[in-house]
Amino acid sequence: MAHSTEPSDILILLNRLGDLWITYIKGQMLLSLIMGAIVWVVGSAIGLYWALGLGLIAGILQTIPGLGGIFAIVPAVIVAFWKGSSVIPVDNWVFALIVAGTFLAVQQIGAILIEPRIMGKRLNLPPLIVFVAVMVGAALGSVVGAYLAVPLVASVRELARFARRNRR
């Protein structure tokens, strides 16, 4: 016997979907804070001048999935090439390469380990699903696809649960 959908059921679904998207945005903010802090700490450790400011820039740019980390490398490499290191005694161009490699490593750690865990835990999705969703979203829809992939997967899951409950 089919169950009719009550207006209150639809309101509950819409509230749940809204909560998921707000949770996603909060998760993005937390991820930005974490990644900015990591860039600041690692930059300070290798003697990168203005590490705090560059960490803030990296944190802000982190909100652009996939490309934000790459954009954050540019000002850091410019500073490294211009000012050198206050800790590592190498030529500025060598230090710029060290900074580029370090930033790429930090971004990969963020994308592969930190982001899937934060988003997966907040949205109750397995980290592997989050990682795959971002990769597929990026492949299909570039930056916008990567950014929207995780909340869309969570939303589709909620819609499927809603449909299954109302079918019974």
Give residue 47's pLDDT: 97
Give residue 14's pLDDT: 94
CA distance 34 to 123: 18
pTM: 0.82
Maximum pairwise Cα distance, the chain:
76
107: amino acid identity, one letter: Q
CA distance 146 to 153: 11
How do the pLDDT tens digits run along the chain, 168 residues long? 445 667 788 899 999 999 999 999 999 899 999 999 999 999 999 999 999 999 999 999 988 766 788 889 999 999 999 999 999 999 999 999 999 999 999 988 988 889 888 888 888 888 888 888 988 998 998 888 888 999 999 999 999 999 998 887
Q: In 3D, which of 143, 126, 165 has the Cα closest to residue 12?
A: 165
CA distance 58 to 87: 21
Give residue 62's pLDDT: 87
CA distance 131 to 93: 34
What is the SS3 assignment for 48?
strand
- Rg over CA atoms, the chain: 20
